Amino acid sequence: MSSHDEKLHYTRILLSKKFYLGLLKNEHWAKSHPFYNEVIQNRPVELGTYKIHVNYEMISILEEIVTNSHEGALVHYYLLSKLKALFLTTQICESEKKVGLHNIMKK
């Protein structure tokens, strides 16, 4: 199958500003992320400005969110924990990319 014929799979997660900031307000690692800072400073962020290349760990977290079989209040708390894990994973990946790029530039 050529790349032209391949299906494109993507996931969008849309959160309200209030929910997003509430979710990450106590996470020190979030405060160093450019997207978090744009949101907290009330700067408009257009859809597609921040694109994240998804790795296997992120796919696993997304699958866990979708296949969540918990009931009652556990659904809510499970979702919150998985969203935090997803955002932390993106932060780690971006940090690793910067370190890798920095090491390449030093050579």
In a domain? residue 5: no
Determine contact, residues 36/24, Cβ cutoff 8 Å.
Answer: yes
Look over the chain and give the mean of its residue pLDDT values, rounded to a whole number. Answer: 84
In which domain, by residue range, is 60 found?
17-105
In a domain? residue 22: yes
Q: How many domains does the chain have?
A: 1
pLDDT single digits (tens) 82-105: 999 999 999 898 887 765 544 445
pLDDT single digits (tens) 25-67: 999 999 988 889 999 999 887 777 777 778 899 999 999 999 9
In a domain? residue 1: no
Q: What is the C-alpha separation between 35 and 40, in angstroms, rounded?
A: 9
Burial class (CB in 10 A: 0-12, 13-18, 19+), 24: buried
Query: Among candidates 55, 23, 52, 54, which has minimal Cα distance to 39?
Result: 23
In a domain? residue 59: yes
Alpha-carbon torsion 54, 57, 60, 64, what sign?
negative
pTM of the model: 0.76
**pLDDT given at position 65:** 93
Q: What is the C-alpha separation between 16 and 84, in angstroms, rounded?
A: 15
